[in-house]
Structure 1
Amino acid sequence: MSGGAATGRESVRGAGRSALLAVLASNMLLDAVEVSVMLPAVAGMADDLGLSPWQGQWVMSGFALGFAAVLLAGRQVTARWGRRVPYLVALAVFAAASVVPLLTHDPALIVLSRIVKGACAALTAPVGLAILADAYPDGPERRRAVTVYTLFGAAGFTVGLLVSGTLSSVGWQWAFVFGAPIAVAVLLVAARVVPADTPQPRTPAPAGWWRSGGLARAAFGAAVLNGTYLAMLLLTALTLHGRGWPPWLVALAFLPACLPVALTTPFGGTLIERVGTGRLVVAGASAAAAGQVFAALPIPGGYATQTLPALVLVGLAFVLSFGALNTAATASVPAEARGAAVPVYQCAVQCGAVAMLVATAALATLRGFDDARILVAVVGCAGALTLVLSLIRSSARTPA
């Protein structure tokens, strides 16, 4: 056991450990909220500021861009300064960046604040999980703590939609700002309960870990799944706003695409054990592609006949495959390489979001929403087909 881990575990016990879990889980919830909080607000913001879909989407892709940019540097940061200092600094900067939309309506500064918040989340999310692992001994206690931490993260997307839908009905700025007092409250408690630690040098990963076909396959699948999912939700939010739907109703309309994920997260491990990661990945990618194709078809009617079935299918896709993709990514590399491999995988997930949001919104601006939906469907189908063929080739190379 490393000295830093021992120190952290010895200094956090009893009620202090419960308070630490509450801080880390609350922060994870806040980070996850920021992924979805813009969906009900982006159309109103674009209207007020005179932005096109391509310009408006940067408040979503900017967060993912900041997240991706800092993820790969996280290990170097903690190796130099430990975990406590970067964690607390990132929380403070996150809170400060959250109030920018109250101070200015300059779109560039608002997007910059979202990039900064994404960069902060890229530090607090993985560092928080590492602090949690140090504070709880391996075994049932740690598994329960990680389950709570994961549940808060899974619930964050749904909570972000509902909070944003409520606040954006008053003004879109409040969807940006509401995280500031929460981040300050978490920071004040974290300053008391996050244990001091000693910077630990990075353990070199074994040579060649990055050649893992399983890691590349999982990263590709997760990038396509996340990117097409967010792009489809962005187009849906803009479409519903154009039909006169208020933000709170837009938020409720998205629940079939996200609530099942939050409700089924505790059972993800059991599902993987019974079905297997490969089958779940293929089933999820196929469900996502089916939903995206359905959304692109010229079906007459409104939400109930076209949008709702598509959202149910993409929500099912996340239930089936996102946990399986995470598991496949970590299982495909040696244990000593996972510290280096997981940030690469997570970076790919965020890059998928940036690429698809930018491309989809650009096409929606230039050619219209119908062509943009077709793009999402084509990428989703191509991703599903690529995963199926890759898994078939991998199975064929595996000895019986």
Structure 2
Amino acid sequence: MNGPGGNERAALTLLCTAVFLDAMDLSLMGVALPAVGRDLSLSEGTLQWLVSGYAVTYGGFLLLGGRVADLLGRRRMFLLSLAVFAGASLAGGLLSEGWLLVVTRVVKGLAAALTAPAALSLITTTFTEGAGRNRALGVYALAGATGYSGGLVASGLLTEVSWRLVFFVPVPIALLVLLLAPRVLPKDGPPPAEARRFDVAGAATVTAGVLLLVYALTETSGGAGVLAALFLIAFVAVERRQRLPLVPLRVFRSRALATANLAAVAWACATIGWQFAAVLHLQQVQGYGALSTGLGIVPMGLAIVVTARFAGRPIDRWGLGRTAAVGMLVQAAGILLFLRADAEADYVSVLLPALLVHGVGNGLSFPSLNIAAVGALPDEQQGLASGLITSSVQIGAGIGVAVLASLLATGGPGPDGYRLAFLAAGGFSLLGAALAHFGLRARTTPTEARAAG
């Protein structure tokens, strides 16, 4: 296919709609959490699992999702996982038990982990390598970013009517994709020989380990912490013995790869954790409604998009390590500026500067870490590199929300809890800056410079 025809454009639209839903679902819960908590009398510990349960399951099973799609068929896996996603969304909107809501979020995270790699591989097999595929992948990436930012705004609009709409709205969109996709997506061919084995044990042990770690951080449970350590040790043992491991451990001999993924965990702990705490602060301390909270966050989203659009220039001039470090220092400054926000804080003079500064730092650091991660491995391992950095972000999101929720509970309902949470989020961002500065190259390679452009 030299150029995208009607079927290719339709397929790309449907696949991007699915990744838009996956990304939007992570942020949709943000503004709705206080309303869910009030209506169902849920603790902040339970509320954070509505975010962490989705993010950690998504991150833990993402790498396995690509192998499953190869084995069972990309189109078949895409349709099946999207149907599960829609069913879990519908169930979440109908339920009123906190733990059952968490279960639906975990199921949706698993479904998203299977949908995303199937959609990405469908794009790479539908579009011929070259400019057409690059444009398609750019649209795919933009759909994910737009979904996350749009989810924050949509969450406010929907919650103003009913928080249950946050669960219901993805359902008709997913059903429309399911109706149209069989007509335009290419049929599945025979799976490659190497796809006949896939590492379920690796995905299960790493996901169980991270979920237990999040639980231990939230509930301050020593027993859960010990179990988490045992599962993560088991994951390493499994990967060392697997002929086709989920994550070949030898790739972490690359200093750039290991650093980029560790810094991405810290980045997500900071920014996703901070957003969780900041949304609660706006509504519970400053008295913002759901709609005004969603609209108030819009400038941050715009700052992220505009800065990321031009991030290639500082990357080309300063290099990946320096750009990522500067970005996370700026992001930390935006987070720590929220320490000025009390119950009477003015939006224009106090909150808006913090949101804009955070957005600029976010837009500089995230592209730099992604480019560093995929640039650390050769072309034949780009799928693994992309999966690792996405998993790191999702797992970091789950851990960051858990840590900040625990600090909010420790500090009590007043400003002390939020102060602790904001300080911790700023600390995560500073840690990421240090990792990027000392662990990533100061200058880009030619391959990375092209990627930055």
Deviation of 1:248 (Å)? 0.8
User: Please, which moves more after superposition, 257-266 or 37-46?
Assistant: 257-266
Hey, what's the Cα distance between the residues in 2 that align with 1:206 and 1:334? 14
3-state SS in 2 of match to 1:281:
helix
- 1:134 pairs, out of 125, 142, 155, with 125
Match of 2:184 in 1: 193
Corresponding position of 1:228 = 270
For 1:116 and 1:130, the matched residues in 2 are separated by 22
Q: Which residue in the other structure is 2:363 paired with?
A: 319
CA distance 1:207–1:170, change in 2 (3 Å): closer
Q: Given the superposition, is the C-alpha separation of residues 201 and 311 from structure 1 closer, same or farther in structure 2, using an over 3 Å criterion?
A: farther
Kindly provide the amino acid, as one letter, of the partner of residue 295 in structure 1: F
The residue number in structure 1 matching 2:41 is 50
Does residue 373 (structure 1) correspond to residue 422 (structure 2)? The answer is yes
C-alpha deviation, 1:316, in angstroms: 0.8
Alignment of 1:23-172 (within 5 A): 23-172=14-163
Structure 2 match to 1:6:
none
Q: Distance in 2 between matches of 1:65 and 1:291?
A: 26
Percentage of pairs with the same residue: 34
Deviation at 1:79, TM superposition (A): 3.0
Code of the residue aligned with 2:265 in structure 1: it is: A
Other-structure match for 1:289: 332
Residues 274-333 of structure 1: CA deviation (Å, up to 9, x unaligned): 543222211111111212222235777343333322221221122112111111101111
Match of 2:161, SS?
coil
Q: Are 2:240 and 1:248 aligned?
A: no
Which structure exhibits the higher relative contact order, with contacts defined as CA atoms closer than 8 Å and separated by 6 or more residues?
1
Alignment of 1:363 onto 2:407: yes
SS at match of 1:77: helix
Once the two structures are TM-superposed, the CA of residue 101 in structure 1 deviates from its matched residue by 2.7
Structure 2 distance, partners of 1:144, 1:13, is 10
Which SS does the other structure have where 2:361 is aligned? Answer: helix
* In 1, Cα distance between equivalents of 2:390 and 2:135: 23
1:82, 1:200 within 8 Å by CA — same for their partners in 2?
no
In structure 2, relative to structure 1, the CA distance for the partners of 1:363 and 1:197 (3 Å cut) is same
* CA displacement at 1:250 relative to structure 2: 0.3
Matched, 1:347 2:391: yes
Displacement of 1:268 after TM fit?
A: 4.7
Distance of 1:363 and 1:57 partners within structure 2:
12
Q: Check the 8 A contact 2:14/2:177 in 1, yes or no.
A: yes
Judge which range, 264-273 or 375-384, deviates more.
264-273
Q: Which runs of 5+ in 2 are unaligned?
A: 196-243, 412-416, 446-453
Q: 2:279 aligns with which of 229, 237, 248?
A: 237
Q: SS in structure 2 opposite 1:99? A: helix
Which SS does the other structure have where 1:340 is aligned?
Answer: helix
* Structure 2 equivalent of residue 334 of structure 1: 378
Change (3 A) 1:210 1:88: same
Partners in 1 of 2:41 and 2:14 — Cα distance? 39
Question: Is the contact made by 2:269 and 2:428 (CA closer than 8 Å) also made in structure 1?
Answer: no
Unaligned runs of 5+ in 1: 1-8
What is the one-letter code of the residue matched to 1:296?
Answer: L
For the residues of structure 1 that align with 2:124 and 2:379, how far apart are their CA atoms? 15
- 8 Å Cα contact 2:322/2:436 also seen in 1: no
Q: Is the 8 A contact 1:57 1:361 kept in 2?
A: yes
Task: Give 1:15's aligned residue.
Answer: 6
Name the residue aligned to 2:233: none
Structure 1 residue 386 corresponds to structure 2 residue 377: no
CA drift of 1:258 comes to: 1.7
Deviations 1:16-50 (A, max 9, x none): 11110110111121111112111110111111111
**Aligned equivalents of 2:385 and 2:116: distance in 1?**
16
Q: Indicate if the aligned counterparts of 2:319 and 2:442 stay in contact, CA closer than 8 A.
A: no
Give, as a single letter, the amino acid of the residue that structure 2 aligns with 1:280.
T
Q: Distance in 2 between matches of 1:207 and 1:107?
A: 38
Residues 333, 62 of structure 1: CA spacing in aligned structure 2 closer, same or farther, 3 A cutoff?
same
Q: 1:395 to 1:21 in 2, by over 3 A?
A: closer
Distance 1:275 1:128, change over 3 A: farther
1:224-274 CA distance string (max 9 Å, x none): 112211111111111111132111110011112222333455555565445
Quote how far apart the aligned CAs of 1:344 are.
2.3
Supply the distance in 1 between the matched residues of 2:279 and 2:110 (Cα, whole angstroms).
25
Deviates more, 1:333-342 or 1:21-30: 333-342
Give, as a single letter, the amino acid of the residue that structure 2 aligns with 1:289: A
Whole-Å separation in 2 of the counterparts to 1:115 and 1:314: 29
CA distance in 1: counterparts of 2:277 and 2:442, whole angstroms:
37
CA distance in 2, matches of 1:285, 1:183: 35
Opposite residue 76 of structure 2, the aligned amino acid is: V
